[in-house]
Structure 1
Amino acid sequence: MLRPEALAHPLTPVLRQVRADSCPERFNFHCHTICSDGSLQPEDLAAEAVAIGLEHLAVTDHHGLAAHAAISAALDDHRRRGAAPPTLWRGVEISCLLEGCLVHVLGLGFAEEHPSLHPYLQGNAVVGPALRAEAVVAAIRQAGGLVLLAHPARYRLPHQRLIAAAADLGFDGAEVWYDYAMQTRWQPTPLVCEAIAADLERRGLLMSCGTDTHGLVLRGR
């Protein structure tokens, strides 16, 4: 079940609306820019988000927030010109060890420049005890963010085991709707995504979705 802080988080009601068809047209809570390993300039990603008509967006570059200010400014510019840009949520993708497996964690909707996240925003994965999943969970929580396991079926351990371990550590949810086949145009992978959704629903945890875009088209990976 969700912790009280997660229940009160302003992003939680949005994530409660996530369905199989929410991405990439309405919501995208996982994408990248040139500020980590993506190909899109922050301003170009913002323009694509507006053109698509996204309602909510989080850019989750690996271990950094460098793109956030530029994207926010670009969306504000689109708004001044009469467009209806998406609500932008601060996000980051952090590597950590869960059950001895290297996984990625999405931190969403956290406070800017919170000291707890400083070690994780230096452009590279940390080493030592800070790499443990419980340390990452604590850091994101202290910053006021939600903690979600990214693409649970992409790791060497089965998603059932990883989600169970994540739930025990106090993760708020996981990325459910994901294109594991990495098609040219994003669409969720049948069966595996549905199994992850059922697992999270049973646990009362949040579901997210995202294209995990690394290329030049926000509708694909």
Structure 2
Amino acid sequence: MPVPSDARHHPLVPVLETVTASCCPGRLNFHCHTTNSDGSLHAEALAAQALSIGLEHLAVTDHHSTDSFRPIQQWFEQQSETGATTPHLWSGMEISCLLEGCLVHVLALGFELDHSALEPYRQGQAPVGEPLKAVEVRRRIHAAGGLAVLAHPGRYRLPFHRLIPAAADLGFDGAEAFYDYEMQARWRPTPLVCESVTQLLDKHGLLRSCGTDTHGLELCGR
């Protein structure tokens, strides 16, 4: 077992502790993409949609890039000056790694944006060697003050019944409990899979997250 971190004192934890099947896409979204990786929305356009639907908390998780954070932060600040209520913006990034020999994705959330520990993962592509191991990804995310969340655990070559316990053993903080595995036109969690994932997260004391994994032009869809 890894040495326990102080991640449970992270300010995002109380938000994730409120996550239910109804939180996304209207209140919380901790998984979405812009043109800075493989998304279709420019950063400011995604921010505008987040504002229009009334999101309370947002993390943009481009693959191996944090380039969207500051443009969105600046856009939100400009809207706040006009009296608009903007979402709380958390830093985010989606990182590829090997867990149980399976290539998976990890969401780094709420980390110090420019922390050197995450430098290997900000190069636009997955690293090779030691930084690709899940335990090293988790260690570096924690070193940067963030949370490590296993993305869409029901989408991999290995079943989530194996991956979630393995992630827990490595000190991960949580996983995406609610995800649209059927990829509907408007996002909605897939009942049976998400219920099973949620039960397993609860069993291992892991946090629940949710997000649309938007790659298209609508933040309320996939």
Q: C-alpha displacement at 1:80, in angstroms?
A: 1.1
Counterpart in the other structure of 2:162: 161
Contact preservation (8 Å) 2:7, 2:142: no
Q: Distance in 1 between matches of 2:128 and 2:46?
A: 31
Counterpart in the other structure of 2:31: 30
Counterpart in the other structure of 1:58: 59
Q: Distance in 2 between matches of 1:25 and 1:39?
A: 20
Counterpart in the other structure of 2:102: 101
Q: C-alpha displacement at 1:62, in angstroms?
A: 0.3
Matches within 5 A, 1:179-218: 179-218=180-219
Counterpart in the other structure of 1:92: 93
Counterpart in the other structure of 2:175: 174
Q: CA RMSD in A?
A: 1.2
Give every structure 1 segment of 4 or more consecutive aligned residues whose post-TM-superposition deviation is greater than 3 Å.
none
Q: C-alpha displacement at 1:3, in angstroms?
A: 4.3
Structure 2 unaligned blocks of 5 or more: none
Amino acid in the other structure paired with 2:52: A
Q: How many residues align?
A: 221
Counterpart in the other structure of 2:116: 115
Q: C-alpha displacement at 1:219, in angstroms?
A: 0.2
Q: Distance in 2 between matches of 1:134 and 1:104?
A: 13
Q: C-alpha displacement at 1:90, in angstroms?
A: 0.1
Structure 1 unaligned blocks of 5 or more: none
TM-score (norm 1): 0.98
Provide the secondary structure at the position in 2 that maps to 1:66: coil
Q: C-alpha displacement at 1:4, in angstroms?
A: 5.0
Report Cα offsets for 1:121-149 as digits up to 9, x if no partner. Answer: 11000011211101101110100000000
Q: Distance in 1 between matches of 2:167 and 2:21?
A: 22
TM-score (norm 2): 0.98
Amino acid in the other structure paired with 2:55: L
Provide the secondary structure at the position in 2 that maps to 1:174: strand
